[in-house]
Structure 1
Amino acid sequence: MKTKGIIIGLSLALCLIAFFMRDWFLSFFTNEIIGENFLFNDSQSLSQQIFPTLIFVVSFGIIPFLYLFVRNYCKISSTKNQVLSLLTIIGSASIFFGMRVIYLKYKVVQLRDLLKRAEFTSDADIPGIDYQDMHLESYLMASVLIGCLLSSIIFKKSSNQRVL
């Protein structure tokens, strides 16, 4: 029971941290993709940003519950394997989200190159990718869930090998 209370408290703390760092996080990665400063000023108060903000906050807050799921599903008892399962979730989430950022950055460069070859002379006339089309929050949530899946597959397989 004590562990579940700690997990809930940690999840709420991560949700609160994610809520306040959302603007910085999205500005950083949007700047990395587009190459321009894109400011989110009080995006939490915008009515069209409620669902993406909720997805972003939940994607951070769900990490402790996913860790608890992997620990209980795979019956991980050693501290080393527990830390490795948590690092697998966070690491693979970072890798998959980073792959999305690299893909979008490549698409922007490819689009700009294509339009420059079509004899557009100024960079101001060249369109880019809209923020709404990036779906960064959704890919962050999906990458965390994929990290949980990978962690459970890895540790379930290793626990099955010990039984044999």
Structure 2
Amino acid sequence: MIPDPDEQVLVDVRAPLREMIFPFLETIVITGVLWIVIGWFDAADAGRYGVGPLRLPPEWRNGFVYLWVMLVLWRFVLPLLRKRRRRMVVTDRRIIFRADGFRARPRTLAMSAVTWAEKERGLLAVYLQDSDLPVYYSGLPKIRKIARMINDPLI
């Protein structure tokens, strides 16, 4: 995704962090529920709150801590890393786009093949010379600015 040294970079954007709102809220709920359970195990070990007769092995508490770590990694950290890999670079000669995911490879469009770009229903639509249908890019911030820079790179 590194442009050539003689290319001028016009736009370089990554996926916006607003896409992580629901995974963040989900992580808060997971943390709250599991740490309430872990606190209940701690209270049971101390013999408080009427749970003294129910003695559970300490491995159960450690298992819930491990479960919490795995859920936070699975539901927050991995999606964060995956989404932050989405990137678009617009240079004076080409458009380079890499989608979400760890295995995504960059796709390149030559600026000479692009006729027009615009925002359509929250997506960036790039119209090409050889096609009647546009190429759509989703999940990008500042779509109007990107379309303006594609249409008139001299701005």
Task: Provide TM-score, normalisation by structure 2.
Answer: 0.31
Structure with more helix by fraction: 1
Higher relative contact order (CA 8 A, sep 6+): 1
Structure with more strand by fraction: 2
Larger Rg: 2
